[in-house]
Amino acid sequence: MKYLIVIEETHTGYSAYSPDIDGCISTGATLNEIKHNMQEAIELHFEGLQEEGYQIPVPTSSTAYLEVPV
C-alpha cells in the first residue's frame, strides 16, 4: 500500500509524518534520509500494531495544491 507522508524542513534537516498513521514520525538530515527513515518507521510501527493485535490503517489521505494570487 502507498501512504502519504508530509515532509517539513526544520532548522536541522527534515521531519516527516503520515496523516494516516497516528504517532508515526521520523527525522533526517537530508530528503533521502528522511524518506528512508520514514519507511523504516512505518514498517516498525506496523509490526508493533500487528503484535498488539491492531489492524494496519488503510491509507485515505490525498494531496492537492491550490494556486493563490499574492
pLDDT digits (tens, 9 = 90+) for 32-45: 999 999 999 999 99
List, in order of start, the domains of the chain with CATH numbers: 6-51 (3.30.160.250)
Nearest to 21 by CA among 13, 1, 34, 9: 1
Q: What percent of the chain has pLDDT over 70?
A: 100
Question: Any idea how long the chain is?
Answer: 70
pLDDT value at residue 58 = 97
pTM for the structure as a whole:
0.89
Would you place residue 65 in the very low, low, confident or very high pLDDT band (cuts 50, 70, 90)?
Answer: very high
Cα-flanking dihedrals φ and ψ of residue 38, to 5°?
A: -70, -35
